[in-house]
Structure 1
């Protein structure tokens, strides 16, 4: 067990971030770039700790594999053909994001993370999209797109080719430094296998970084980029190269909020020493475009928050006004997985279903988007639990009497739409919700009492602070302030 003590302490994120409160970290740079190495590997290292502390599943993630080689090569071939033979779009506004927010809508592919923004100014916007599960999406609602998978694959192969002893030496020294500081500060030490994998990955990414920076520089030059909206831009890792390349070209950079931001989120909070580091700041976007002003004090990063709103939620609320059932007619208890510990939430759903056998209610399990294609869920759900097959979470809210989970943006999305939002009181939720944002339960009896309690109405002012109105106007003002030219 990586925690050296027999009993794992209930730590806060600030306790963990002590390990990066040293100027020594910024002394390690990827060769020939001046880019600090720590942002390239920070999230992966911290999530090894958080995984051991809070999760039963693999929070840090495994190495990317082809999975189904035939499907992978077919998708990669289509990406290459599209990028090669499709007309090269101009994109003063360039949106880079994962395909995780994608799904079919009216017979065409739509990515809720990027396409609302892109379709607001279609003639000057371009989407650069990462791969997800080797699925080539098309036809699409928004067609001014470049696929990033070929460039990322090229960068990986380049790293394996160019890596040198000096890269391994620097990566080893950095990983061993933070590993030692974690051992001294919180009593945690990385397992030998994970340490070896992390050093190898960091060395290869660092070796490829000069070429990767040049590659993104050429891309932004061809697109005519003046504003880069980078999904997950504050996460470091694969976001470092496009952010650094754009900033060095004088391009304004921003991240558009895609999910939960809290004082327990590693990506949005850094140690005090890093907060004053210009080198670290150069790897972060200039702005963080949040769902609403409520989120603007929930992070600790040297970036400027701008409350824009949630384009997807706004579109759904406009389209679905008045569709949801009255509270008296709702019968679903919707259990949301968190993307890591699905089996824990399946077990929770089974316990709830057993407790509700005498009531005319239905327990519905919804996998996290990153989990949806990872299993045959129908064959794994226990008796009394049904699979939520809706693509859009908001469709599932219509019949839900309660949303049940631990750490998820879905709880915030349910505000004003679902009568009961119930969060299980665990070390994980206390870590991520130190302010106590929702009604908490520890036992199934607690949950049943909360279900039977009168519905507490969320103040309209709070909902509007969490979800700002008029995102189009807010977005337009932001673009005008950055001189994008709309």
Structure 2
């Protein structure tokens, strides 16, 4: 980092790095696809990680495959996929699989299955597996799993990576690195550059097979509309491009926190105005509410739909609990030890007046559970509820840095507080929360008789009538 950098830049500043016509010229010679969508997320994550994440990195090495578990699950997945009918469907859902929870004894994807349930057209789903967990029995019977294709694509990327791919990756990354230093004095270490070059070269190597896989899938299902979770993430640029080539409309249903500090939902003016670059993004974004859509600068058509899972959980009153005595701290998926340390300090200050609970982010859940198998870290409890709304039932306060759960707690939990760190201020340039900066302020805010409410209208956060809004969108999208 340059010595003249006084304060960390906002993400609005950081995107100026890509505000350069050269990023529209780096292309894969074999497919013609732009390379910046393959690079963008990893490069900005590295900068953000160096600026704000001190105990862990936003970019972690790929975890080793648990071969025993994989060898058990993969044959089941292959057999399941073979048995699934490949009939044309007007809507194809492409989901990560991260939203699974139990609903009436069946696994239900809180991000996409509500939309499947409320669609009047034929719908098929392709879904990933998280931690090699096969969610059975499923409510959604028309699901194929992406894991076999994904495994093959990743393997091909490793096998087919050549010096030419490494050269292309290094060229665009070095250009981005030079822009970051020239504009903001930000540097990327040689060690991290080599890691990024390795990641990106494998992505370039697997571009042709990705293109082929996506084309085959869209040919088989023949959708008119693709609902793509994380559609604005640049890693999905190839799928967006292939869908547009084949005349398929693409929409991203909001799946979590978006803000002016989110790397996937804010782009430089030059890219926003480039027809060439917009082909790597969805046509539409289906937001939780007007407030969210106003926070982001991504060149898509923004629709207000609502948050199905929040609305259904709120309506069912499944979170009501007379004894609300938990202080629930939400992890960010990267620095769990930071949250646990804060929780332990808070517990010592509160002296047993409340139960202090830390909820691991889904990205770190398995690792945390393995480390604390009895669900306790000293006097601090480790939350093991799969669905966050179960945890809200006994929570008097919910707090965190960067989490959609803060918004979801509003109207259910008496107090919602933002931990106002530099990371939180970067991620939320605009937010509606009361906050605290240290453990003493945290304890004081808990014990204060008032405070902790949203400063914006609830309906602007969570639009009412999500079913009606979604159906009106489908009427237009499928017209």
Q: TM-score higher than 0.5 here?
A: yes
**Distance in 2, Cα, partners of 1:254 & 1:43:** 20
Task: Name 1:339's counterpart in structure 2.
Answer: 333
Task: Name 1:50's counterpart in structure 2.
Answer: 48
Distance 1:384 1:87, change over 3 A: same
Q: 8 Å contact 2:445–2:451 — kept in the other structure?
A: no
**Distance in 2, Cα, partners of 1:173 & 1:317:** 50
1:324 aligned to 2:292?
Answer: no
1:179 aligned to 2:173?
Answer: no
Q: Between 443-452 and 177-186, report the one with greater CA deviation.
A: 443-452
Task: Name 1:374's counterpart in structure 2.
Answer: 367
Task: Name 1:201's counterpart in structure 2.
Answer: 199
1:306 pairs, out of 303, 306, 309, with: 303
Q: Between 177-186 and 51-60, report the one with greater CA deviation.
A: 51-60
After the TM superposition, which residues 100-111 of structure 1 pair with which residues of structure 2 at under 5 Å, given as runs? 100-111=98-109
**Distance in 1, Cα, partners of 2:35 & 2:106:** 40
Task: Name 2:259's counterpart in structure 1.
Answer: 262
**Distance in 2, Cα, partners of 1:42 & 1:111:** 28
Superposed CA offset, 1:306-329 (max 9, x none): 0101111111112226x5245xx4
Task: Name 1:412's counterpart in structure 2.
Answer: 407
After the TM superposition, which residues 55-454 of structure 1 pair with which residues of structure 2 at under 5 Å, given as runs? 55-121=53-119, 124-237=122-235, 239-320=236-317, 324-325=320-321, 329-357=323-351, 359=353, 361-375=354-368, 376-378=370-372, 381-454=376-449
**Distance in 2, Cα, partners of 1:425 & 1:332:** 21
**Distance in 2, Cα, partners of 1:253 & 1:457:** 38
Task: Name 1:475's counterpart in structure 2.
Answer: 470
Q: 8 Å contact 1:162–1:207 — kept in the other structure?
A: yes
Q: 8 Å contact 2:433–2:453 — kept in the other structure?
A: no
Q: 8 Å contact 2:78–2:148 — kept in the other structure?
A: yes
Q: Secondary structure at the match of 2:367?
A: coil
**Distance in 2, Cα, partners of 1:429 & 1:65:** 27
**Distance in 2, Cα, partners of 1:301 & 1:243:** 14
**Distance in 2, Cα, partners of 1:430 & 1:4:** 21
Q: Between 350-359 and 459-468, report the one with greater CA deviation.
A: 459-468
Query: How many pairs were matched up?
Result: 477
**Distance in 2, Cα, partners of 1:76 & 1:429:** 39
Q: 8 Å contact 2:314–2:412 — kept in the other structure?
A: no
The TM-score with structure 1 as length reference comes to 0.93
Unpaired runs of at least 5, structure 2: none
Q: 8 Å contact 2:91–2:121 — kept in the other structure?
A: no
**Distance in 2, Cα, partners of 1:399 & 1:358:** 16
**Distance in 2, Cα, partners of 1:35 & 1:25:** 12
**Distance in 1, Cα, partners of 2:225 & 2:310:** 23
Q: 8 Å contact 1:226–1:251 — kept in the other structure?
A: yes
**Distance in 2, Cα, partners of 1:373 & 1:177:** 38
1:449 deviates by 2.3
Distance 1:74 1:455, change over 3 A: same
Distance 1:358 1:231, change over 3 A: closer
1:466 aligned to 2:461?
Answer: yes
**Distance in 2, Cα, partners of 1:464 & 1:95:** 27
The TM-score with structure 2 as length reference comes to 0.94
1:412 deviates by 0.5
**Distance in 2, Cα, partners of 1:392 & 1:110:** 11
Q: 8 Å contact 1:227–1:251 — kept in the other structure?
A: yes
**Distance in 1, Cα, partners of 2:248 & 2:301:** 15
**Distance in 1, Cα, partners of 2:56 & 2:442:** 28
**Distance in 2, Cα, partners of 1:250 & 1:58:** 42
Q: Between 114-123 and 38-47, report the one with greater CA deviation.
A: 114-123
Distance 1:400 1:301, change over 3 A: same
